[in-house]
Amino acid sequence: MNIILIGARGAGKSKVSRSLSKQTEIPVVSTDSIAVYESGGLPIPEFVDKKGWKAFRELEYSILQKLENANGIILDCGGGILFDLDDSGIEVLSTRKLDLLRKIGRIVYLERGIDELVEKVKGDKTRPDLSKITSYRAILEKRLPIYQEAAHFKLNLSKLSKEEAAERILDWLGIKSK
């Protein structure tokens, strides 16, 4: 079985995935790390600057295809894993990626409030702009309900440590920590 963590950037997916791994000895696989590897080491902001968001979303899809038969991993997904761009460049739910994620494992949505997320990622140069036109807040307002619909389990992290979050996920899955 695989555990899949989704949520907005800044939600805490990487920290919780590492805590889950520490408690279970299940390895963590990061879609963003694989994307950097598969692009020849190009950081995601540079990849997006050179090739665009549509190409990055295609790269994410190819990564999920490669992970379709994985077993025994914690998958730390980039914040946009559930999305593609339509022909006019508008972000839409990616049913093809969601279908693959559901085949791969159990989806856990790590949620935080919009104000908290906006504050956490403000000024972070390691994350590419999601849009030159739309604010992160407006993007979150559209994305958060989609994360909720996609998830098998939702967990609000606003008042939980990464260890407490990992424990709650393991309890939900019926997995004992090591």
Query: If we measure between CA atoms, which residue out of 146, 144, 55 comes closest to residue 93?
Result: 146
Pairing type for strands 74-76 and 91-93 reads unpaired
Distance CA 53, CA 81 (A): 12
Q: Read off the pLDDT of residues 20-71 as tens digits, 9 standing for 90 and up.
A: 999 999 999 999 999 999 999 999 989 999 999 999 999 999 999 999 999 9
CB-neighbour burial class of residue 167 (10 A; exposed 0-12, middle 13-18, buried 19+): middle
Helix (H) or strand (E) holding 5: strand 3-6
pTM for the whole thing?
0.92
Q: Read off the pLDDT of residues 138-154 as tens digits, 9 standing for 90 and up.
A: 888 999 999 999 999 99
pLDDT at 133 over 70: no
Q: Say how many residues make up the chain.
A: 178
Domains annotated for the chain, with CATH where assigned, are: 3-165 (3.40.50.300)
* pLDDT at residue 129, as a whole number: 53
pLDDT at 126 over 80: no
Q: Which of residues 135 and 9 earns the better pLDDT score?
A: 9
CB-neighbour burial class of residue 23 (10 A; exposed 0-12, middle 13-18, buried 19+): middle
pLDDT band at 176 (very low <50, low <70, confident <90, very high): confident
Distance CA 88, CA 147 (A): 22
- 33: tokens are 């790390």
Lookup result for tokens 């389990």: 153
Query: If we measure between CA atoms, which residue out of 99, 63, 79, 85 comes closest to residue 10?
Result: 79
Cite the annotated binding site for Mg(2+) by residue number. 14
Cite the annotated binding site by residue number. 10-15, 32, 57, 79, 127, 143
CB-neighbour burial class of residue 133 (10 A; exposed 0-12, middle 13-18, buried 19+): exposed
Cite the annotated binding site for substrate by residue number. 32, 57, 79, 143
Q: Read off the pLDDT of residues 149-173 as tens digits, 9 standing for 90 and up.
A: 999 999 999 899 999 999 999 999 9
Q: Read off the pLDDT of residues 28-38 as tens digits, 9 standing for 90 and up.
A: 999 999 999 99
Cite the annotated binding site for ATP by residue number. 10-15, 127
